[in-house]
Every structure is written in structure tokens, then in C-alpha cells.
Structure 1
Amino acid sequence: MSILEVKDLTVAFRQDGKTNMAVKGVSFSVDRGETVALVGESGSGKSVTALSTVSLLGDVAQVGGSVSYDGQEMIDAPDRLLRKVRGNDISFIFQEPMTSLNPLHTIERQLTESLALHQSVVGHEARTRVLELLQKVGIRDAESRLGAYPHQLSGGQRQRVMIAMALSNKPDILIADEPTTALDVTIQAQILELLAELKRSEDMGLLFITHDLSIVRRIADRVCVMKDGEIVETGPTAAIFENPQHPYTQKLLSAQPSGQPIAVPAGAKELVKTDSLRVWFPIQQGFFKKVVGHVKAVNDATISVREGETLGIVGESGSGKTTLALAIMRLIGSEGGITFDGSDVRGWSTKRLRALRKEMQIVFQDPFGSLSPRMTCEQIIAEGLSVHGVEPGRNRRDMVAEVMQEVGLDPAMMHRYPHEFSGGQRQRIAIARAMILRPRLVVLDEPTSALDMTVQVQIVDLLRHLQDKYGLAYLFISHDLNVVRAMSHKMIVMKQGDVVEAGSAQDLFDNPQTDYARSLLAATLEPSG
């Protein structure tokens, strides 16, 4: 008998007098010791389905059908039963641990709170149990971490704490909702291995929600593919990957950034160059703020990028990738040489740098976080024109319409606000905001990691098209090496502020010279399909 059984589940939300169906007749089951993956793009109903299992959608949702846990019906179950099951028998891990962990409480307090609430375990016994949990999920020197706050841990450590919290009450079912999306490839591989090991040792059922099929191939026993609130295909993982039947499944499996970057034109001139660039942040102590050391964010980085060329910058979180890019753009202080278009820009005044800003633009990882929710699409894209001026003889709205068409957006949508666009459309707005100034260098800081696989492919194709059309130089920062390979002519690998390897992207992928580069490549999940 399955530990979790979902039959004909429907979920509807009422908004503005209309009923929107988010889940339409979904059925699946999860057995003990089994991993079932719910796969689909954003808006397909995956997370809504998962939250419905223990009635976490609230009164705004109209839920029908049946969700049975260990023979007990969960839909319309009494609050007393739901409180017992939630976090105890069925536990959740979410995508971004920083939004799930309380920033004001220590790790120890947050873990012991769960034990006290569900098992009445307190005091020394609770502390001992917390240490066991942290060690089980691979937190080194666990005792020294008990007093840490979430912001003092790395992304991988925070996710391990979330897993420890989810496991604290020995659940029968663990629901993991995009638990590795925001993590580096090496950390992602560790978390997936940890989940698989815990599933075996604890004999749990694991419901794994993701849009990344390469992860599914690695971890899942069975797959349910969701589209528009329905399961369009289900079956054993191997069968789905080897012989997908539904056109949507086939589309998902083929949605991997692929191809090669467009060749750099012969004789392309060098646009950006650094010479032993260094960014050290002082560590200050005491009343007089005496400098007692430095955080060596970037050490002696020497790079060059030509017009029409992409330099891929890879490495784990904290390796200095973004710091290097910000220093090149003169947004943070640094030592060493920075040359842009043949001019040494280190000593430039703020006034002189303003003209340079038009030549350098940046596109960030999370388009929703980098777009003002109070500005329309038109206002966001045209914002840079207010600073740098409109081209003589050009109308501002015409320029916005033109660049929107160029990035694949309908100019008729320019009066909408960011929340009215999909994730892929928001990223296109961010790209349009950078491109309207006709820059020569664009920093792309994880521009695809928050996007569905099919949307990733579209954004990569768009960026290559714009680069070919305008001869743009890109600094492409990413932990997704499949995307880096599709975009980059050259690559550098960074570790703890040092450039440990540099060369052509092809050579580095085919024959990495350092152990660290080899470990990064080995941790990259195999492409699906």
C-alpha cells in the first residue's frame, strides 16, 4: 500500500470573481523508499499539488478529490490531525532556505523548536538530537554551528539545515520543492546524494519537485510530467527518458542550451583588460577599527575580452566571480590595472565614469528582484535614458518599443507591471533595460538560473543573437556549466578569489588541468535527452 496516494486532485482559486483551475484531476502515489518526481515548467501546478497534500493552501483554494496519507484522508481533515501530520509525518524542503529560516533565531533554536513542538524533546536531549541531525546532513564541526544565524552560513549549509529540520521528526514522506535550484553544481550534487542516502537509510518516500530533468534522471524512480495543471505523462524514469510519448515531455527533454557561441570576428579589438586586479576587504576590530586582516575576495586576476567575445566565469559561491565583474565596472574599489577600450579607467572621476556607465551594463540573476514593482515595463526599460539622455532625433517611447521587439516582447505590453509578466518575460525586460543604451560590455550574472529549461534555451539564443548583431562583449557568470559551454569563447575558473585555470572554453571542458576544475565538471549533471 502506498504511503501517499493522490486521486483526482483538483485545486481552484477564485480571483476577481473568476475561478482559475490550477490543478485538474491529478493522480499519483508515493511508496516507502521511493522517489517520485513532479516535473514541469513554472505555473504547471507542481507546488500547488504538493502544498495540497497537507492542506497548506488556505481558504483561498477550493480543493477537491482525495489525498490519502497512510490511509487517512487529508482533504477537509480536522486541524488537530493536520497539525500532527505537518512537519512530523510529512515534511517540506523549499527552494530558498533564506526565506524559510528565521533570520533572528540561531540554528540550534530553530531545530530544537521543531523537536519541542512535535516530540516534546527539550533541554540536553534536544541539543544532542540536533547535533546528530547536523552531523547526519554533513555539517562539519556541528557544535560550533549551533549558535550561528542563517546569514552566517553558506547556501549549501543553509539547505542542509533545512533538510535536518525536515528530518528532525523522522517523517514518512519528504517533499522537496526545487531544493537545489539556487546552489552551485558541486553543492547541488552533494545535496542530491545526501537526499538519496537519507531516503534509503530512513526508508522515506520522497516527492521531488523540479523543472530540471537532468536532476530527475539522477534521483527519481518514477516521473510525473505536469503541464497546465495536468499530468500528461507518467512512468518509470528510464522509460520516460528513453521513449517519451507526449510532445510536451519530448520538448522538455530536448530543452538544453546547446550549440556553440558565434565566432568572434577576425581582428576584433580588445575591449576590456585587467592586470593583477585585486579586491581585498579589510577586517576591522576594536573601537578604533584597527585592520587585523583582509577578506581576499579577488587575487591578482588578469583577463581580457574582445568585442563580440564571451568570457565565462565559473566557480562556487564566494569564489569572487561577481566581485571581479563589479570591480571591472568600477562599482567597487580595487587595486591593479583596468583598461576599457584602451584607456586606463582606474583614476577616473565620478563625472567621467558616468559616460563609461553607458558602455557597461549588467543583467542580474533574479529579474523579479531587480525590477521595481512600482514601475511599468516602459519606465523600467527607459530608466537609463533619463541618466544618459535620448539619442538626438529619437522619441523615448519609440526606442522602448524597438528594443522590446528586439528582445522578443510585444510593445503593446509596455504599460504592464513586472508581476504581470512570466519569469522569462521579466528577464527579457532586464535585458532590454541594458540593451537600450547600446552598451559594448554586458555583465550577465547568473541570468538563466532562475528560469525553466525551455526559457533558458530562449534566453541563450537571444543573447547570442544580440551579441552577433552588435558585437557585444559578455562577462558571463554562472554555475550552470551547460549554459556556460553554449555561450562562452573563453573561461576562467575561480576558487576563493584566485583564478585557478584560464583558457578557451573548449579546451577547459575537454581537458581541465586542475583538480578543482575537474571536480566542477564532474559535478555537472549530465544533459537530459
Structure 2
Amino acid sequence: MTTPLLSVQDLSVAFRQDGRETLAVDRVSFEIAAGETLAIVGESGSGKSVSALSVVKLLPYPAAHHPSGRVLFKGRDLLAADDAALRKVRGNEITMVFQEPMTSLNPLHTIERQIGEILKLHKGLGDTAARARTIELLTEVGIVDPESRLGAYPHQLSGGQRQRVMIAMALANEPDLLIADEPTTALDVTVQAQILKLLKDLQARHGMAILFITHDLGIVERFADRVCVMTGGRVVEAGPTRDVFAAPKHDYTRHLLAAAPRGEPPAADATAPVVMAADDLKVWFPIRRGLMRRTVGHVKAVDGISVAVRAGQTLGIVGESGSGKTTLGLALLRLIGSRGRIAFLGRPIDGLKSAEMRPLRRDIQVVFQDPFGSLSPRMSVADIVGEGLEIHARDVTAAERERRVVAALEEVGLDPAVRFRYPHEFSGGQRQRIAIARAMVLSPKFVMLDEPTSALDMSVQAQVVDLLRALQEKHGLAYLFISHDLKVVKALANDLVVMRAGKVVEAGPAAEVFAAPREAYTRALLAAAFRLEADGRGVATG
């Protein structure tokens, strides 16, 4: 047998805090050959990401340590390597794509500078060559009109676009091993397919190995050569992907394969009051060029859209990354400027100032796409979830506030005992549940859910969908549900709006749109999401 490129042997990872030690990974072993793809799957908190971060020693040492194990890369134990040796490996021979791009990209640097810095440091390229290679990389990962994006900052890109920039940075040096931690989490289904094809093409061209961390078993089935299934910090099943999917041996593997959002949204009631509505809503961002920074045009992120969300019902907003989905939601919540009429419970709010909007914030809540970026690292879970009560329900006693925090955490499937811990101590999926609890604790009337299940594994997705439906039915909540995961949208949405380039492509009752889409773009999205055969009359591009 040939020597594997990477061999992880009997790896354990423990975390020390307040004199206690918690074992997060327990004697995990796996190997990856050059040119091979190994996927590690499991629920949030199973130890997937911790195992991957251990490969290049990116855990918070000395709080983290390894009671046992070796990580052999090209025969050398990286766990025993010094910082100088690791610096030569990181970003050059081994690169990573992290789960949350907004926390990985420097908010003060342009996209060109961040990618160019890697090319200059590791490849020795000059400014002109680095710029040309940056444009080439952005094109490869599906960024439209990359030249216009070179001067953009991370906050000016959609979540999916930021993730594609991260992938471009990771691929810049043509590494021997790419560790991809949920690399397609923030991407719509058509761009997922493009990115996965890109990774496969680069892998075939350069013999690159890929360690793929994901909760999306559909991607694993199509993408990985072999798979390891983890739970509770241990590998419970491993083998060729085809064999594991065809005949899973472990009960946990069978549980994962059977997990998926199911059910239907509560029945629509045409007589229910309209909670949130917009008429001819526009959000245009100026394009400024030249020495005087004159406006030469506009990016029409939302261009004349009208929507209405009724009590007890869900309006699903779908479309590719950059289509304007999140911008539409932020405009409805008056978190960004817009033109057009916006009404909440029949009251016009488009002209209200910030102070006038403040009393309405209790009834209008949001769950953002990136849970780590929206949770304060300096606050405990109890403080994060309870902060809204302190601001909007000052008459509530401390004991009642504590009771509500506990109840909210239980509703989203978290042990209330964790409320004294901090966000960095949780997995991505657990952080998303904390964000949902923070929104729900105030019993709002309208909730914007921006990709609320994107960071969650399949079984937790199903739990969250069931939770959202139950809360909606109990309290008559109105949801604006933004997602690229059409399977989740199908289980939740009464009505559906399909967006592209800031405009509505198709809209109507969700059941009708899913059953008989009229537009080629909608058919392409559904084909990618449900692995149907496209009819060839239209192709989605990202």
C-alpha cells in the first residue's frame, strides 16, 4: 500500500476550563490518500470540526490538548511540530475553508488585498500578476463580474459570495490537502453544484486531497470517496461512501440517513391579518467611480418588489446568493434604507426614525445567517437570550426573566445548564439554536429567518422546522423565511417568492410553485435542489 498523505492515529482532544476537563474527541483515526476525498459527517457537537482543526493545530491551545494521538502529514507528526514548521504547512500545503466566512475575512481589507496577500506571500507574485490571478480565482468560484468586486469589503457581499471568496483564498496556492469545513453551507443549490464541480476538477488536475466536513449527506453521497460517521467524539462507522449509504451498519448512521425536514406548513388562512407588507420596495446601492467618486449607476439589490406576510403564515424567499433575498428582509425590518411603502400591522413604518421604530422591535425579530457573528463573544448564553427582555420587558423580574430564558433554550433543544457558557464553546449548529432562542424569547409577531438552518445538520434541521411550525401555530407568528434550501422551504412556506438580480421571477402559493413552476429559472433551482432532471429550457447561473 502507498503511504497516505494524511494519517490521523488515535487522536483525542480535551478542553480544560475552570479546573474541569471535557473530552471532545475520543481516539479518532482516519487516513486520506493523495487525490482522495474523505467526508466526516455527524450532528453538531459530534467532534467533526475539532478533529479537522487538530490537523493543523488551530485549536485554542493550551486550553485544548491531546491526551493521545498523532497527525502524520507526509510522514511528519504535525502535533509535535513547532510553530515555524507549522507556518510553512498552513496556507501552503494545507489550506482551510471555514464554516463562517464573515469571521474569517478581515472586515477592513478589500477582497483583492486579502487574496493578493496570499499570492504575494506564498507565490511571490507582483501586484499585476496577483491582480490577474485574483480575478481568475474569483471567476473560477462563480463570482459574477469579478473585476467590479476587487474593491469590495466583506460586508458588501452576500453570505454566499463571502464563502466563495474564502474558497478562492484556500485554492490560491494549489494545496496538497484542502480541509473544507461546511464549504457550501451558505450557498444556494445551483452554486453548490458549481463549487463541488470546481473542487473535483481542481482535485483531478492537481491530485489534491480533500477532508470534507459537512452535515449535508446528499453532498457526501455525490462528492466523497469515503466517509467517517462521528457522534459523541467517536467514529462509529467508516468505509467507502457507496457501501455506507447502501448498507449502514450502525444505528446512528441509519438515523442520519433517515433525517430530513418533513411535514407541511399550517393551512393558509386568506382572512388572517397582514402583519408585514411592502409595496414597490426598492434598495439601490450607488456605484461611485473616479476621483470625485461620482455616482455612475446603481446596484439594484431590490427593485420594485411587493410582498405581504399574514399572521400564522410563512412567506418563503428563495434565489441564488446575491439575488437580494437578505436585502429585502433587512429593508422590511428597517435595518437598511429603502424606498417604497412598508407597513407593520397596517401602520406605515417606512418613514419612522430609529427612535420611533424602537418600541416596535419587540414584535419584530430576526435570526441572522451567521450565528457566530451575531452573538457577542463577551456575553454568556443566559445574557444573550435574556438581553431582549432587559431592554423590551423591563417590568419583568429577574426570576421571571431567568425562567423565560430556560424555557426558550429548552424549546430549541438546548440543555438550560449550558446558559452560563459562552458562544465559542458551542458548535455552529448550537450557536444557531441560541440565536433562535434569543429571537423567540420575546414572543414576537413577525420574525425574519435568514438561513436559520444553514449551519445545522439534517436531524437538527428537522427539529428546528418542527419547532418553528409549533411556535407559529401556537402564537400565530408571521415568518419571512429566507433560504437556499428548498427542502426546508417546502416544509415551512405557505407562499413563495423566487428572486433573481433584485426582481421577482415567480411568486404564488408554495405548493403550486413546487408542483408546477412556470419559469425556467425556478425549474433550474428545483432541479438542483431535488436532483430532478432539468428540462434544458433554462440554466441558472451564479
Specify whether residues 396 and 499 from structure 1 end up closer, same or farther in structure 2 by C-alpha distance, changes over 3 A only: farther
**Distance change in 2, residues 1:164/1:254 (3 Å):** same
Match of 1:225 in 2: 229
Determine which of 483, 487, 499 is the counterpart of 1:482: 487
Partner of 2:400: 398
Instruction: Find the aligned partners of 1:257 and 1:472 in 2 and give their Cα distance.
Output: 20
Is residue 410–residue 416 contact of structure 2 (8 Å, CA) maintained in 1?
A: no
Give 1:260 deviation, angstroms.
0.7
| Corresponding letter in the other structure for 1:5 | S
Aligned partner of 2:535 in structure 1 is: none
Cα 1:422–1:208 change in 2 (3 A) is: closer
| Aligned length, in residue pairs | 525
How far off its partner does 1:113 sit? 5.0
User: In the TM superposition, what are the counterparts of 1:294-443 in structure 2 within 5 Å?
Assistant: 294-347=298-351, 353-375=357-379, 377=381, 379-389=383-393, 395=397, 397-398=399-400, 401-402=403-404, 404-405=406-407, 408=410, 413=417, 416-419=420-423, 426-443=431-448
Judged with a 3 Å threshold, the aligned counterparts in structure 2 of structure 1 residues 487 and 200 are, in CA distance, closer, same or farther, namely: same
1:93 offset after TM fit, Å? Answer: 2.7
- CA drift at 1:519: 2.5
Q: Which region of structure 1 is more displaced relative to structure 2, 455-464 or 39-48?
A: 39-48
**Alpha carbons of 1:355 and 1:522: their partners in 2 closer, same or farther (altered >3 Å)?**
same
**Bigger mean CA offset, 218-227 vs 15-24:** 15-24
Q: Paired residue for 1:446?
A: 451
Match of 1:189 among 193, 210, 215: 193
1:275 paired to 2:279: yes
| Structure 2 partner of 1:503 | 508
Map of 2:184 onto structure 1: 180
Counterpart CA distance in 2 for 1:341 and 1:105 is 41
Q: State the distance in 2 between where 1:152 and 1:377 align.
A: 29
Which residue identity lines up with residue 471 of structure 1 in the other structure?
A: G
Deviates more, 1:139-148 or 1:156-165: 139-148
Deviates further, 451-460 or 48-57:
48-57
Cα distance in 1 for residues equivalent to 2:229 and 2:339: 51
| Aligned-partner SS, 1:521 | helix
Matched, 1:52 2:54: yes
| Larger mean Cα displacement after TM superposition, 102-111 or 263-272 | 102-111
Residue 41 (structure 1) shift: 2.6
Q: Secondary structure at the match of 1:303?
A: strand
Instruction: Give the C-alpha shift of residue 471 in structure 1.
Output: 1.4
Deviates more, 1:335-344 or 1:442-451: 335-344
Between stretches 65-74 and 151-160, larger displacement belongs to 151-160
SS in 2 for 1:64: coil
User: Which moves more between the two structures, 299-308 or 143-152?
Assistant: 143-152
Q: CA deviation at 1:400?
A: 5.0
**What is the correspondence of 1:460-479 to structure 2 with a 5 Å cutoff?**
460-479=465-484
CA distance in 2, matches of 1:79, 1:433: 40
Q: How does 1:35-46 map to 2 (within 5 A)?
A: 35-46=37-48
Q: 1:364 Cα shift?
A: 2.4
Residue 33 (structure 2) aligns with = 31
Measure, in 1, the Cα distance between the counterparts of 2:415 and 2:142: 50
Which residue does 1:21 correspond to in 2? 23
With structure 1 as the length reference, what TM-score do the two structures score? 0.84
The amino acid across from 2:491 in the alignment is A
Structure 1 residues 226 and 525, CA gap change in structure 2 (3 angstroms):
farther
Q: Describe the superposition over 1:348-395 as per-residue Cα deviations: whole angstroms up to 9, x where unpaired.
A: 67676555444322232334433444555555445444554467xx75
Write the mapping of 1:91-106 to structure 2, written as runs, cut at 5 A: 91-102=95-106
What is the Cα-based RMSD across aligned positions, in Å? Answer: 3.7
Contact 2:432 2:455 in 1 (8 A): no
Q: Relative to structure 1, is the Cα distance of residues 204 and 334 closer, same or farther in structure 2, using a 3 angstrom cutoff?
A: closer
Counterpart residue type for residue 184 of structure 1? D
> In structure 1, what is the Cα distance between the partners aligned to 2:157 and 2:357?
36
Per-residue CA deviations over 1:153-209 (Å, capped at 9, x if unaligned) read 665555455444444444332222221212233322211111011111222222111
Deviation of residue 36 (structure 1)?
0.9
| CA deviation string 1:96-137 (max 9, x = no partner) | 444444555565665565456556566777677666656655
C-alpha separation between the residues in 2 aligned to 1:82 and 1:288? 46
SS of 2:467's equivalent in the other structure is helix
Contact 1:10 1:63 in 2 (8 A): yes
Task: Say if 1:404 and 1:432, in contact at 8 Å, map to a contact too.
Answer: no
Q: 1:50 to 1:340 in 2, by over 3 A?
A: closer
1:485 partner SS: helix
Tell me the SS of whatever aligns to 1:23.
strand
What runs of 5+ residues in structure 2 fail to find an aligned partner?
Answer: 533-542
1:500 is matched by which residue type in structure 2?
Answer: V
State yes or no: 1:7 paired with 2:9: yes
**Aligned 8 A contact 2:44 2:429 in 1:** no
Distance, in Å, in 1 between the alignment partners of 2:27 and 2:415 is 37
Q: Which amino acid in the other structure matches residue 234 of structure 2?
A: E
Question: CA-to-partner distance for each residue in 1:198-248, whole Å, 9 max, x for gaps?
Answer: 111222222111122122112101101112221110111122222222122
What is the one-letter code of the residue matched to 1:514?
Answer: E
Verify: 1:258 aligned to 2:262, yes or no.
yes
> Secondary structure at 2:91's aligned position in 1?
coil
The one-letter amino acid of 2:267's match is A
Distance change in 2, residues 1:120/1:371 (3 Å): closer
Aligned partner of 1:493 in structure 2 is 498
Q: Does the Cα contact within 8 Å between 2:277 and 2:343 map onto a contact in 1?
A: yes
State the AA in 2 paired with 1:29. E
Q: Do the aligned residues in 2 keep the contact of 1:257 with 1:486 (CA within 8 Å)?
A: yes
Tell me: CA distance 1:346–1:198, structure 2 relative to 1, closer, same or farther (3 Å).
closer
- SS of aligned partner of 2:219: helix
Secondary structure of the structure 2 residue equivalent to 1:455: helix
Deviation (angstroms), 1:505 = 1.0
Amino acid at match of 1:92: M
SS at match of 1:314: strand
Distance in 2 between the 1:305 and 1:363 partners?
17
Q: Distance in 2 between matches of 1:350 and 1:53?
A: 47
After superposition, give the CA deviation of every residue in 1:15-69 in whole Å (9 maximum; x if it has no partner). 4444433332222221233211111233322233233334444555236333333
Q: Which has the larger radius of gyration?
A: 1
